[in-house]
């Protein structure tokens, strides 16, 4: 069973046959009240619990985190403050984000650091890594003297709504929790220490497996959140050969806000390259809509002078000298793939040239884009 906040684009065509997709609705007020009662907030009367459930639109993670806070029988003033914050938020996402932030303010410094350190990592992180960073003097040693057993007990009790412990002892946090707790510990020192751990046993040079690539993407995301765009770009270039190793959609430029930040930090050319790359790689995973969106955005961002320069590089046979030219030389193939996908589907891609369309158009045939 797979769970996701978003549809699985590559599985949608199997829905109803070999795969079945179920959209799980939020809890209604009565169900949310029952969840709160079962998770430790039974001391609140049913009307108050229904009100809290409505306050987060029945979101399961928010309700679980809220129950952990309420289990301590917090003061009425604190409960009123939480209700006021939820009422002031405009959207479900904003309301849900309020709950972990509210929870963070009521944790000890050590517990808050534990969740924050786990939130630095996008994937499960080894317990010894959390303990090492938590005891490090560069981060103020908030978890000095902690042992793994003590950390496991904290996760099993007061931090259970925020951190998950896996069978091998590794720890992870939900993306919504990471969004709230990562900024609490994010600093150049924290990024440096996390990078040392992520890259510790990774061979030099470009990544050679999906596992290695995911670790690099994880670190790129962390660097971007820390505002270290140049370091993120350098890591992307060195470890992925400007993305050539990817056969899945990269996460370097994932939204309007991040795209604008990329433009400010790295300039138009870099933004256009990353958008173009995202469009090309989207074709390999069958993400036709994403491919069209990213390629169109790349064309919109690129300035006339740069477009002319790229064309010169490609037509003069110097494409291999420039990642920009490499990206542009592949775009026409990707455009053909996007245009033809509705007619013939997208075939599995070659590992040597992942964006080469299949079947190849017959001689003399032109494809509109």
The answer to whether the Cα torsion of 212, 191, 122, 94 is positive or negative is negative
C-alpha–C-alpha distance, residues 364 and 209, integer Å: 39
**186-232 pLDDT tens trace:** 999 999 999 999 898 888 888 888 788 888 988 998 999 999 999 99
Examine residue 281 and state whether it is found in any structural domain, yes or no.
Answer: yes
Do 128 and 59 lie in a common domain? no
Residues 100 and 124 both lie in one domain: no
Residue 217 and residue 192 share a domain: no
Same domain, 20 and 96: yes
**What's the length of the chain?**
369
Burial 172-207 (b: 16+ CB within 10 A, else e): bbbebbbbbbbebbbeeebbebbbebbbeeeeeebb
Q: Are residues 19 and 101 in the same domain?
A: yes
Each residue of 44-67: b (16+ CB within 10 Å) or e? beeebbbbbbbbbbbbebbbbbbb
| Assigned domain for 250 exists | no
Q: Evaluate whether 290 touches 279 at the Cβ level (below 8 Å).
A: yes
Query: In this structure, are 182 and 128 located in the same domain?
Result: yes
The mean per-residue pLDDT over the stretch 136-143 comes to 95
pTM: 0.68
Beta strands in 106-230 (DSSP E): 163-165, 171-173
Query: 3-class DSSP state for residue 73?
Result: coil
Q: What are phi and psi of 230, to 5 degrees?
A: -65, -45
The CA dihedral of 27, 29, 30, 32, to the nearest 10 degrees, is 50
Residue 143's SS3 state is coil
Residue 95 near residue 63 (C-beta atoms within 8 A): no
What's the CATH number where 150 sits?
Answer: 1.10.10
- Is 354 a domain residue? no
114 and 194 within one domain? yes
- Say what the pLDDT of residue 206 is: 86
Of the three residues 85, 106, 127, the one that is the final residue of a domain is 106
The more confident residue out of 324 and 357 is 324
Pick the last residue of a domain from 82, 106, 130: 106
| 32: Cα separation from own chain's centroid | 27
Q: Is residue 294 part of a domain?
A: yes
Look at residues 87, 106, 125 and tell me which one is the last residue of a structural domain.
Answer: 106
Pick from 89, 25, 31, 105: which is nearest to 55 by CA?
89
95 found inside a domain: yes
Indicate if 35 and 74 belong to the same structural domain.
yes
What is the total count of domains within the chain? Answer: 4
Distance of CA 256 to the CA centre of its chain: 15
Tokens coding 17: 């046959």
Q: Do 191 and 222 fall within a single domain?
A: no
Return the residue matching tokens 């045939």. Answer: 365
Of the listed ranges 100-109, 140-149, 222-231, 291-300, the one predicted with least confidence: 291-300
Angle between helices 60-70 and 46-55 (to 10 degrees): 130
**Domain-embedded: residue 369:** no
- Check if the beta carbon of residue 226 is closer than 8 Å to that of residue 188: yes
Per-residue model confidence as pLDDT tens digits over 161-175: 789 999 999 999 988
Kindly state whether residues 227 and 141 are assigned to the same domain. no
Is residue 88 situated within a structural domain? yes
Q: Which domain holds residue 272?
A: 255-339
96 and 34 within one domain: yes
Which among 189, 89, 178 has a CA at the least distance from the CA of 134? 189
Tell me the pLDDT tens digit for each residue of 82-131: 889 898 988 888 888 888 888 888 899 999 999 999 999 988 999 999 99
Q: Report if residue 361 sits inside a domain.
A: no
Query: Same structural domain for residues 270 and 305?
Result: yes
In the predicted model, what is the mean pLDDT of residues 145-160? Answer: 92
């Amino acid at each position: 069973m797979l769970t996701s906040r978003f549809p699985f684009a590559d599985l949608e065509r199997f829905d109803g046959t070999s795969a079945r997709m179920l959209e799980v609705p939020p809890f209604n007020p009565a169900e949310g009240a029952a969840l709160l009662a079962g998770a430790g907030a039974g001391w609140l009367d049913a009307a108050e619990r229904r009100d809290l459930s409505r306050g987060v639109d029945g979101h399961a993670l928010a309700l679980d985190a809220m129950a952990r806070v309420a289990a301590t029988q917090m003061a009425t003033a604190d409960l009123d403050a939480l209700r006021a914050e939820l009422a002031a938020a405009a959207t479900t996402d904003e309301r849900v984000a309020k709950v972990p932030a509210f929870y963070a303010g009521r944790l000890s410094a050590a517990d808050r650091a534990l969740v924050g350190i786990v939130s630095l990592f996008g994937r499960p992180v080894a317990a010894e890594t959390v303990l090492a960073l938590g005891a490090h003097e560069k981060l103020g040693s908030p978890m000095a003297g902690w042992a793994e057993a003590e950390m496991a007990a904290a996760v099993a009790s007061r931090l259970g709504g925020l951190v998950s412990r896996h069978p091998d002892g590794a720890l992870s946090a939900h993306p919504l929790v990471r969004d709230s707790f990562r900024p609490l510990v994010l600093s150049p020192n924290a990024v440096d220490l996390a990078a040392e751990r992520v890259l510790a046993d990774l061979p030099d040079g470009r990544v050679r497996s999906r596992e290695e690539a995911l670790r690099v993407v994880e670190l790129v995301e962390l660097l971007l959140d820390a505002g270290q765009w140049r370091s993120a770009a350098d890591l992307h270039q060195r470890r992925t050969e400007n993305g050539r190793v990817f056969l899945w959609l990269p996460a370097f430029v994932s939204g309007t806000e991040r795209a604008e930040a990329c433009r400010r930090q790295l300039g138009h050319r870099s933004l256009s390259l990353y958008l173009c790359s995202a469009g090309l790689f989207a074709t390999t995973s069958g993400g036709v809509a994403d491919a069209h969106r990213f390629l169109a955005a790349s064309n919109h961002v690129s300035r006339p002078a740069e477009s002319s320069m790229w064309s010169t590089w490609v037509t003069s046979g110097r494409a291999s000298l420039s990642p920009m030219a490499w990206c542009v030389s592949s775009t026409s193939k990707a455009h053909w793939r996007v245009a033809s996908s509705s007619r013939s589907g997208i075939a599995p891609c070659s590992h040597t040239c992942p964006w080469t369309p299949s079947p190849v158009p017959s001689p003399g045939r032109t494809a509109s884009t």
